[in-house]
C-alpha cells in the first residue's frame, strides 16, 4: 500500500462527482488517482475539478495494482459485480448505498470480504447528517428520557419525472425512492434504536407516469420497543418535519435538511475556510413539551468523517466506519417492507430469524 492511499473511483455521476470525489480529495492521506467514466462531458468535468486524476474507460483498469482502494459509485445494479471484482483482485472497497439489491447479495459480499481479509464498507453518509448527530446526542444524554417514537422524513417535491435508471421498472436496477431514500432512513433508525422486530409498509407510485415507487411509508417496531415511522417521497408538495422524536421527558422537532449535500453540489469543499456542516441558528430544532420549548444547537454535519474512518481502518486497523452487516440488516427491512406492502400485512422479522 502506497504512502498516500491511491483511490480509484468508479462513476462520475452525481454520487461520484458531488460526494465521493471531493471528500476523497480533501481527506489527508488520500489521493483521487483515477476515475472510471467514458462520457466526454464527465471527463471534461473531472479534468476541471480534479486535474491530477486520470480518466479510464473500464473498471478493470483499476484492478491492476495502480490503486489501493476502489470506490463504487456507479448505478445500483452494478454495485455487487463491481465490488466482487475488486475484492477478488485483492482490493478494499467502498460501495455507495444500497450495498446490494438484496440482503442475500449483501451478506455474500460481506462474507467474501471477511474471507479475503479485506475492507468492505458502505457509504451511509447520512449517519453524519447534522440532525442525526443531534438526535444521537439527545438520546445519549437523556434529554428526551425514554424514547418511544421516532419519526423521520426524506421528502421532495419533484412532480415531473426525471429520465434516468432510478425511474426504470426493472427490479435489477434497484430504483425508486424506497431503496434510494429509505436506505438512509432505515439505517439511521436501526443504528439509533436497534434491530427491527416487525415491519409494516405502504409503497406507492403516485405520479401518473411513474414506473417505480415515489411515495412510501415504513413503520418499524424495534426489539427495544421504540416505534419508528419513516416517510420517503418525491411527491410531497408541503414538507413535514425532517425529524420528530418523542420521549417520556421531552420531544425534539427539526425542520430542514442538512446543508452538506447542497454545499457539495454547489462546489463548496471541506476545509475551504468556512465552517463545514454548520447551519444558522434559525434552522435549529426545538426540544421540550407543551409547557415550553427551547432551541437546541444542531451538531455540525460531518461527511468528511466517513473517509477519515476509511483511512484509519486501512492504515491503523480501526473499525470500518459502516459495518457491511448493517447494510444486510437494512436490506432485510426493505425486503420485508416490500412483502408487507404487497400483502397488506405486518411482517414479523423475529419469527423469520
Residues of the chain with CATH 3.40.50.720: 5-123
- Cα dist. 110→95, 118, 324 in Å? 12, 10, 6
| Second CATH level (architecture) for the domain 126-305+332-352 | 2-Layer Sandwich (3.30)
Look at residue 293 in the predicted model and tell me its pLDDT.
97
**Is residue 1 pLDDT above 70, yes or no?**
no
Look at residue 75 in the predicted model and tell me its pLDDT.
94
Task: Give the model confidence (pLDDT) of 68-86 as tens digits.
Answer: 999 999 999 999 999 999 9
Q: Is 196 in contact with 221 (CB distance < 8 Å)?
A: yes
Among 91-105, 140-154, 267-281, name the one with the lowest average pLDDT.
267-281
Q: What is the CA radius of gyration of the chain?
A: 20
Look at residue 244 in the predicted model and tell me its pLDDT.
98
Look at residue 169 in the predicted model and tell me its pLDDT.
83
Task: Give the model confidence (pLDDT) of 192-232 as tens digits.
Answer: 999 999 999 999 999 989 889 899 999 999 999 999 999 99
Task: Give the model confidence (pLDDT) of 296-350 as tens digits.
Answer: 999 999 999 999 999 999 999 999 999 999 999 999 999 999 999 999 999 999 7
CA distance 288 to 83: 45
> Confidence band (pLDDT; 50, 70, 90) for 174?
confident
CA distance 346 to 162: 33
**Is residue 25 pLDDT above 90, yes or no?**
yes
In the numeric block, which cell numbers belong to residue 258?
Answer: 442538512
Look at residue 352 in the predicted model and tell me its pLDDT.
66
Give the three-state DSSP class for 324.
Answer: helix
**Is residue 353 pLDDT above 60, yes or no?**
no
Task: Give the model confidence (pLDDT) of 29-61 as tens digits.
Answer: 999 999 999 999 999 999 999 999 999 999 999
Mean pLDDT of 124-130: 98
| DSSP H/E element including 202 | strand 196-204
Q: Quick one: 13 exposed, middle or buried, by C-beta within 10 A (0-12, 13-18, 19+)?
A: middle
CA distance 189 to 127: 10
Task: Give the model confidence (pLDDT) of 222-263 as tens digits.
Answer: 999 999 999 999 999 999 999 999 999 999 999 999 999 999
**Is residue 275 pLDDT above 90, yes or no?**
no
Q: Phi and psi for 197 in degrees, rounded to 5?
A: -95, -40
Residues of the chain with CATH 3.30.360.10: 126-305+332-352
Look at residue 99 in the predicted model and tell me its pLDDT.
97
70 forms beta bridges with 8, 93
CATH code of the domain occupying 5-123? 3.40.50.720
Task: Give the model confidence (pLDDT) of 284-296 as tens digits.
Answer: 999 999 999 999 9
Amino acid at each position: 500500500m502506497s504512502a498516500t492511499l491511491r483511490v480509484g473511483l468508479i462513476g462520475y455521476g452525481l454520487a461520484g462527482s458531488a460526494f465521493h470525489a471531493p471528500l476523497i480529495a480533501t481527506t489527508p492521506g488520500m489521493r483521487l488517482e483515477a476515475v472510471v467514466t467514458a462520457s466526454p462531458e464527465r471527463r471534461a468535468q473531472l479534468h476541471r475539478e480534479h486535474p491530477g486524476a486520470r480518466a479510464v474507460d473500464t473498471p478493470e483498469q483499476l484492478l491492476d495494482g495502480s490503486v489501493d482502494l476502489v470506490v463504487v459509485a456507479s448505478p445500483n445494479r452494478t454495485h455487487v459485480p463491481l465490488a466482487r471484482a475488486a475484492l477478488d483482485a485483492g482490493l478494499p472497497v467502498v460501495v455507495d448505498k444500497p450495498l446490494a439489491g438484496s440482503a442475500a447479495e449483501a451478506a455474500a459480499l460481506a462474507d467474501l470480504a471477511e474471507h479475503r481479509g479485506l475492507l468492505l464498507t458502505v457509504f451511509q453518509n447520512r449517519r453524519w447528517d447534522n440532525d442525526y448527530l443531534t438526535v444521537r446526542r439527545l438520546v445519549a444524554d437523556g434529554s428526551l428520557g425514554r424514547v418511544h417514537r421516532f419519526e423521520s422524513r426524506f421528502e421532495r417535491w419533484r412532480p415531473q419525472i426525471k429520465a434516468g435508471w432510478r425511474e426504470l421498472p426493472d427490479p435489477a436496477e434497484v430504483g425508486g425512492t424506497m431503496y434510494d431514500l429509505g436506505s438512509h432512513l432505515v439505517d439511521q433508525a436501526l443504528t439509533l434504536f436497534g434491530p427491527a422486530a416487525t415491519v409494516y409498509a405502504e409503497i406507492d407510485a403516485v405520479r401518473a407516469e411513474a414506473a417505480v415507487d415515489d411515495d412510501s411509508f415504513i413503520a418499524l417496531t424495534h426489539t427495544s420497543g421504540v416505534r419508528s415511522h419513516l416517510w420517503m417521497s418525491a411527491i410531497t408538495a408541503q414538507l413535514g418535519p425532517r425529524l420528530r422524536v418523542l420521549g417520556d421527558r421531552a420531544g425534539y422537532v427539526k425542520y430542514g435538511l442538512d446543508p452538506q449535500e447542497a454545499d457539495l453540489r454547489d462546489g463548496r469543499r471541506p476545509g475551504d475556510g468556512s465552517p463545514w456542516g454548520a447551519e444558522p441558528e434559525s434552522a435549529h430544532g426545538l426540544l421540550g413539551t407543551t409547557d415550553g420549548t427551547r432551541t437546541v444547537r444542531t451538531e455540525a454535519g460531518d461527511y468528511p468523517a466517513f473517509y477519515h474512518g476509511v483511512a484509519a481502518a486501512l492504515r491503523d486497523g480501526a473499525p470500518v466506519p459502516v459495518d457491511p452487516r448493517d447494510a444486510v440488516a437494512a436490506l432485510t427491512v426493505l425486503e420485508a417492507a416490500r412483502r408487507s406492502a404487497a400483502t397488506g400485512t405486518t411482517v414479523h422479522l423475529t419469527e423469520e430469524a
